[in-house]
Amino acid sequence: MKRILLLGGTGDALTIARRLGHDHVYSLAGLGRLPGDLACSVRVGGFGGVEGLQAFIEAQSIGLIVDATHPYAAQMSRHASAVSALTSVPCWALRRAPWQPQSGDAWCEATDFPSILDSIAPYHHPLWTLGREPLAYLDEIPPSQHWTIRCLDAYPGNARATIIGARGPFSLDGERALFTTQQTDVLISKNSGGAATEAKLRVARERDLPVVMLQRPRLPPVEREFSDTSSLLDALAAWLDPYPLFDKTP
Ligand code: NAP
């Protein structure tokens, strides 16, 4: 038996998990919804650092680590790469290409939270789409601003912040309506790449609005890197041969 550990947290990872049979393990941090309809085993929560991940890989006889985590989940990627070096279990990664600005786009790149705050200082209605991070700054919102923060779950806001709990993918019309109702004048985003959350960038483009893009973290080298799910699935099928990727027998 050849066993795959798939590290997930993205829609692409779920696409791969749906193609894995019961021998394989899909691992999630536990931030998003848990899929209940998969043939492979699903485990949730941290492993306990490099040591815990190494112990898991050895105990479960994992033969291949597939890192399909979010591009900003760099710690998990670093741990996977470190454990691969310690155990000689190969690590492959799905690394989505970043979005690229198009002609006329006013994007500026920010390296950290303080530089984002500097960049948005001239604006009044920032729309935050970074996840939960801005929630830690709710008491520091300047009087000239009202923040809209979109993250996975709704939280109470305050007089200067509206917090919207929503999970992608997001439609173009839905994003247009959000920008209008929230009077968005600047968008703050991660450079996640992919189609699921790209519509907000189109709306910013249509309205000539600036975008502050949080720089991607550096990710560790891996044995093989893929930019799309179909080439990764082909490689997984070849690696598993003569076993099938999806084995229906219980
Ligand atoms: P992280 O900083 O890379 O990971 C922190 C810890 O969470 C890891 O060290 C690991 O704990 C655990 N973890 C992460 N992914 C895991 C997985 N697939 N299976 C098991 N454990 C996992 O990532 P993060 O703190 O979750 O998020 C960092 C950034 O990525 C945030 O900006 C977040 O919004 C974005 N993001 C993350 C996810 C996600 O599913 N993680 C999804 C979308 C966006 P141990 O060290 O204990 O093993």
Full-model pTM? 0.93
Q: Which residues lie across from 41 on neighbouring strands?
A: 25
- For the residues 95-105, what does the mean pLDDT come to? 94
Q: What tokens does 125 get?
A: 């209605």
pLDDT at res. 34: 84
Q: What is the helix (H) or strand (E) element at residue 93, kind and residue range?
A: strand 91-94
| Segment 216-236, tens digit of pLDDT | 999 999 999 999 999 999 999
Residue reference for tokens 């393990």: 25
Give yes or no for residue 250 having a pLDDT over 50.
no
pLDDT category at 248 given cuts 50, 70, 90 is low
Mutational pocket test of ligand 1: of 16, 66, 69, the residue with most ligand atoms within 8 Å of the beta carbon: 69
Structural domain spans, the chain: 4-96+217-240, 106-214
What average pLDDT does range 113-128 have in this prediction? 97
pLDDT value of position 244: 86
- 143-148 long-range contacts, Cβ below 8 Å, gap at least 24? 145/120, 148/178, 148/182, 148/184
Using CB distances shorter than 6 Å, the residues near ligand 1 are 7-9, 27-29, 31, 46-49, 52-53, 69-70, 72-76, 79, 131
* Interstrand relation of 91-94 and 107-110 (parallel, antiparallel or unpaired): unpaired
Please provide the size of the chain in residues. 250
Which is the closest atom of ligand 1 to the Cα of 190? 32
Q: What is the pLDDT of residues 194-206, one digit of tens each?
A: 998 999 999 999 9
Fold: same for 4-96+217-240 and 106-214: yes
The architecture CATH gives domain 106-214: 3-Layer(aba) Sandwich (3.40)
Fold of the CATH domain 4-96+217-240: Rossmann fold (3.40.50)
**180 pLDDT band (50/70/90 cuts)?**
very high
Ligand 1 atom closest to the Cα of residue 53 is: 48
